[in-house]
Structure 1
Amino acid sequence: MSRQDDYASAEQRLHALQQCPAALGTAESVDWIETHISWLLLAGDWVYKFKKPLKLDFLDFSTQALRRAACEEELRVNRRTAPALYQDLVALAGDTHGGLQLLPLAQAPPDAEPAVRMRRFDQAALLSHVLEAQRLTPAHIDALARHVEGFHDKAAVALPGQGWGTAQAVRAPVQDCLAALQPQVAQAMPDLGPVLAQVAQWCAAHGEALAPVFEERLRTGRVRECHGDLHLANLVLVNAAPQLFDAIEFNPALRWIDCVADIAFLAMDLQARGRADLAWRFLNAWLERTGDYAGLQVLDYYRVYRALVRARVAGLRLAQTVGDARAACLQEQQRYLRLALCFAQPRPVALWLAYGFSGSGKSTQSLGLVCQRGMVRVRADVERKRLFGLESGDASSAVPGGIYTADASLRTHDRLAQAARWALQAGHAVLVDATFLNPAMRQRFIALAQELRVPCRILCFEAPLDVLRERVRARQQAGGDASEADVRVLEAQWAAARPLSTDEEALAVHVDTTQPVDWDRLLPPVSNSGAPA
């Protein structure tokens, strides 16, 4: 029997099973979902996931033994994040003539078709659908960043010599993806050939230039057993909290990757779905939790790759569909190819300094700006605590000698400067969130911008002293904030304050935080030349 016959026979058999709800333990109708590599039957409280008998350049499900091994691996890798969803393995025995039977895998005959049994959830709870329904909130994004960071923190770490995360291992799947897309595009969308060629040229140049960075990321433990397919359709709200599922099981090379390669998929997906603001909120929340600002050097490379992956998946589905579904696949492939090219283009780069007293609204108000404009934010309050092994919301009272010494402040600004340098050199606009009440600290960052030949602006966040006092008191009472400044600290800042110099004032934009801030009105976008865009 040919591979095509195997595929048709397996599909026919599962459609027959779909028509026998009793064999699946339910009296209700059975729903059918198809992906480019799997068939899923949704029956009652359960989902049965079968592998398609395929052999592609990135997976091999061509034999029953290989499909069984893939099912076993799927159970293992997904119980790391969703143990309640992934139940056990079953197998389909019998045929359409003598009757079909679903059995526990251990009780099934050797020729039975294996499947993963999962607990069913409401499809409306998928984050892709939550977003479409306009119910995905900033709180969901913040919780997702915590969930992903926690998962990565506990994930197994790749070691040099295992083959994962080397420059060659990073570039190989990108090259494979481009090679697979070339005949797809040539046949279905020849007008996009120049777009694909431009992206391929960018990937080749940047893949080579970043080779030492990839190796350094491996050496410093940033390559781990990640998820591998971290997009919105593989995230679900469980008890109102986002949860990862459907990690890649079929190819370990696609799972043992840089953590930035993992989060780049989600950031790309949010932007592809028209929510670049949420993408940047997620990226900044993840960066604050990990401190991995060095990873910004490889972010664009991985965002381009992830867009190419989705373009390729659309191409695979294209070969399996007809009619309106085929037209939708073509449109999707075109959208992702253009997004890949977008990520490869230079963007306006500038260094912004968030300047002001404690309670002036620097952190609260700047978050909206960085999400809206696609910027990286680095916060002094967070990085200061990281220096001492503290989480951003931890109290520092237990640290001997305290964390607010002159030496700690100098070290904190060293970290801020290094993070800003990484981000700027990687082509990202950066906002550094600190009080910047010390003129020497301001001059250090202005000099950094001059060295890197990018514009520098100072955002002066302002409010009357009585408003500042009330905000600081309220923040202390609420607890959990990275800033620990109290009214005493605020009043000391106020008493010692000196105005900006004439040269600094020329860079300043004054932000009144006693009223809602309209960034579009206050700050026209700035180009690389420093002029309004």
Structure 2
Amino acid sequence: MPPSADLSAQFATAEQRVRMLLQQPQAFSYPADLMGPVECIETHISWVLLAGDFAYKFKKPLQLDFLDFSTQALRHVACEEELRINRRTAPGLYLGLVGLVAGAAEDAPATLRLVQWQDAPPGAEPAVWMRRFAQAALLATALDEQRVSPAQIDQLARHVAQFHAAAAVAAGANSWGSAAAVQAPVDDCLAALHTPVAGALPGQEPLLAQVTSWCQHEGQALAPTFEARRAAGWVRECHGDLHLANIALIDGEAQLFDALEFSPALRWIDCVADIAFVVMDLAAHGRADLAWRFLNRWLEHTGDYAGLAVLRYYGCYRALVRARVAALRMDPTGDGSGSGHAAQTVEGYLELAAGFAGQRPARWSTPCPATLWLAHGFSGAGKSTHALALACQRGMVRMRADVERKRLFGLAPDAASDGIPGGIYTAEATLRTHQRLAQVAREVLAAGYSVIVDATLLDRDARALFLELAAAAQVPCHILSFEAPLPVLRERVRQRALAGGGASEADVAVLDAQWARAHPLQPHEEAITLHVDTTVPVDWDRLLSH
């Protein structure tokens, strides 16, 4: 809506004071000679001042279709909310609120000062006070500079899963996470993209039309699933804006910050809608392998494999969100210096959205058709390590028997099981584990994803369960037999036990028992088996090309 005269005056006054602050380092309670220059980062809705070791985030006096910061009271509420929701994941970054106080300006320029909010007089302008970190710490920057390790992606997945586990669950009385609430922001994005695409990227109009049609059809088809997930408690107070520039590597570990404070409807969402932003953005940065690693690790921690049914829809939506943001930077005349780059960005995200929708070959994709892979072999054979590498390289979901067995007993993946009466490795527990794996594999395949079942599967009856599953689902099935000599297996198991902390609790005695009673592969199984020697580096491109 057009700004009122009063709001325009507020904006001009606020912008003037921010520019004055850049010239008044003494306002930040630091001796001027102990600070470098004050810097300002401007976003669509905020000014962030960087001063010394701290950052101060001011809300712009704006009234838009998706937020209202038109009064000092509303900006104060938004600052309080930003502080609350971000302290859930980054309490060390979010220090409190401060108020900007302006002195009298008769003959001399006004003197500004920042004070703790509890000491601020009425009418002070609120700001979120944060600990500053280098821009190089942003995960997006680190990724582009190839400074992100697989272990850091694993930690990020654990961090996000723990955050989601602790997040408040949407109550049945509100509409958050309903089918209508899910589809509305997708429709808004598509509508907002129509004009800029038609004006600056007319060649992309057919693609936008295809994505629009897919989103409408898929949104309607998934409506019962959205409602079922809401009823199952998967709609929670999430982050809401979890792209890679809102994740920082602090002391080498990922922390989420800048959660979406101004719209509860965009924050109270399905947990899969939250992680879809990370998956999409990793793919957008050319690291689909890390996108699949993050997804697999998050699934291991949460067990929410059923959520894969809605991942493509949410991944498409997140790409459209970034396309919409980039479109705001486009000059309608095409003459702006940044307009060309913004148009390319819009085009790239549209292509990625189409990839999630299955309309284009994608930087994030899954093998077609969906396939069931069985990772077979003794403890210490390298099944988990190599199955995860294959899943990340080829775009698949990996399920670990060690993890799902513990989940059945309410244990975390890396928790010890010695406190469970009777233990978790009985024949009955093993049967339940295989049934759980088969159930989840069926869900993953139905969602259109290939799946690797990571289990020893040394018993012919266990293998038969999954071969029958593949036949019933009418999907191809392959066995990956991971192999190494017994002395090598024993040493690996011994070293793994010494290291501790993993999901597997098999020791040398367990390995020897496996070796004694294993059922060899039958001729019909050998016909679909690829033998993998794990004593040498595994080249999946070479092995799978045969």
TM-score range for the pair, normalised by the shorter chain length: over 0.9
Cα distance between partner residues in 1 of 2:385 and 2:141: 29
**Structure 2 counterpart SS, 1:341:** helix
TM-score, normalization by structure 2: 0.92
1:529: which partner in 2?
A: none
**Structure 1 counterpart SS, 2:385:** helix
Check if 1:480 corresponds to 2:501.
yes
2:345: which partner in 1?
A: 332
**Structure 1 counterpart SS, 2:50:** strand
2:363: which partner in 1?
A: none
| Aligned partners of 2:29 and 2:114 also within 8 Å | no
Check if 1:402 corresponds to 2:426.
no
Among 19, 22, 25, the residue aligned to 1:21: 25
- Post-superposition shift, 1:8? 4.7
Cα distance between partner residues in 2 of 1:259 and 1:2: 40
2:216: which partner in 1?
A: 204
Among 448, 458, 463, the residue aligned to 1:442: 463
TM-score, normalization by structure 1: 0.94
1:527: which partner in 2?
A: none
Q: 1:423-467 deviations in whole A, cap 9, x for unaligned?
A: 111111110101111222212212222222221111010111111
Among 265, 272, 296, the residue aligned to 1:284: 296
- Please say which of residues 82-91 and 220-229 is displaced more in the overlay: 82-91
Instruction: Note closer, same or farther for the CA distance 1:471–1:407 as it changes in structure 2 (3 Å cut).
Output: same
**Superposition map of 1:253-292 within 5 A:** 253-292=265-304
- Post-superposition shift, 1:2? 6.4
Among 159, 171, 179, the residue aligned to 2:191: 179
- Post-superposition shift, 1:111? 3.7
1:345: which partner in 2?
A: 358
Q: 1:331-366 deviations in whole A, cap 9, x for unaligned?
A: 211111110101111841211110111111100111
Structure 1 spans left out of the alignment, 5+ residues? 525-531
**Superposition map of 1:406-425 within 5 A:** 406-425=427-446
**Structure 1 counterpart SS, 2:337:** helix
One-letter amino acid of the structure 1 residue matched with residue 462 of structure 2: M
**Structure 2 counterpart SS, 1:317:** coil
- Post-superposition shift, 1:207? 1.1
Cα distance between partner residues in 2 of 1:110 and 1:326: 42
1:66: which partner in 2?
A: 74
**Structure 1 counterpart SS, 2:514:** helix
One-letter amino acid of the structure 1 residue matched with residue 129 of structure 2: R
**Structure 2 counterpart SS, 1:401:** coil
Cα distance between partner residues in 2 of 1:257 and 1:287: 17
Check if 1:489 corresponds to 2:473.
no
Cα distance between partner residues in 1 of 2:102 and 2:496: 65
Cα distance between partner residues in 1 of 2:112 and 2:195: 40
Q: 1:73-108 deviations in whole A, cap 9, x for unaligned?
A: 111111111112112222333388433333333444
Check if 1:142 corresponds to 2:154.
yes
One-letter amino acid of the structure 2 residue matched with residue 176 of structure 1: D
Check if 1:50 corresponds to 2:68.
no
Instruction: Note closer, same or farther for the CA distance 1:19–1:325 as it changes in structure 2 (3 Å cut).
Output: farther
Cα distance between partner residues in 2 of 1:52 and 1:449: 56
Among 495, 504, 508, the residue aligned to 2:525: 504
Instruction: Note closer, same or farther for the CA distance 1:104–1:489 as it changes in structure 2 (3 Å cut).
Output: closer
Check if 1:32 corresponds to 2:36.
no
Cα distance between partner residues in 2 of 1:304 and 1:161: 28
- Post-superposition shift, 1:214? 1.1
Instruction: Note closer, same or farther for the CA distance 1:192–1:55 as it changes in structure 2 (3 Å cut).
Output: farther
| Aligned partners of 1:159 and 1:219 also within 8 Å | no
| Aligned partners of 2:330 and 2:336 also within 8 Å | no
**Structure 2 counterpart SS, 1:168:** helix
Check if 1:357 corresponds to 2:370.
no
Runs ≥4 residues deviating over 6 A: none
- Please say which of residues 122-131 and 94-103 is displaced more in the overlay: 94-103
- Post-superposition shift, 1:403? 1.2
- Post-superposition shift, 1:322? 7.2
- Post-superposition shift, 1:275? 0.8
| Aligned partners of 2:48 and 2:55 also within 8 Å | yes
Instruction: State the identity as a percent.
Output: 63
| Aligned partners of 2:374 and 2:452 also within 8 Å | yes
| Aligned partners of 1:268 and 1:306 also within 8 Å | yes
- Post-superposition shift, 1:127? 1.2
Check if 1:456 corresponds to 2:460.
no
One-letter amino acid of the structure 1 residue matched with residue 374 of structure 2: L
Instruction: Note closer, same or farther for the CA distance 1:105–1:498 as it changes in structure 2 (3 Å cut).
Output: closer
| Aligned partners of 1:36 and 1:313 also within 8 Å | no
**Structure 2 counterpart SS, 1:400:** coil
| Aligned partners of 1:225 and 1:257 also within 8 Å | yes
| Aligned partners of 2:458 and 2:520 also within 8 Å | no
Residues paired across the two proteins, number = 525
Cα distance between partner residues in 1 of 2:485 and 2:61: 68
Structure 2 spans left out of the alignment, 5+ residues? 360-365
Among 7, 15, 33, the residue aligned to 1:11: 15
Check if 1:380 corresponds to 2:401.
yes
Among 76, 83, 97, the residue aligned to 1:75: 83
| Aligned partners of 2:167 and 2:238 also within 8 Å | yes
**Structure 1 counterpart SS, 2:329:** helix
Cα distance between partner residues in 2 of 1:476 and 1:99: 65
- Post-superposition shift, 1:120? 1.0
One-letter amino acid of the structure 1 residue matched with residue 319 of structure 2: A
Check if 1:297 corresponds to 2:309.
yes
- Post-superposition shift, 1:109? 4.5
**Structure 2 counterpart SS, 1:460:** strand
- Please say which of residues 487-496 and 258-267 is displaced more in the overlay: 487-496
Cα distance between partner residues in 2 of 1:311 and 1:490: 52
One-letter amino acid of the structure 1 residue matched with residue 373 of structure 2: W
- Post-superposition shift, 1:3? 5.0
1:126: which partner in 2?
A: 138
| Aligned partners of 2:415 and 2:503 also within 8 Å | yes
- Post-superposition shift, 1:61? 2.0
| Aligned partners of 1:181 and 1:315 also within 8 Å | yes
One-letter amino acid of the structure 1 residue matched with residue 117 of structure 2: L
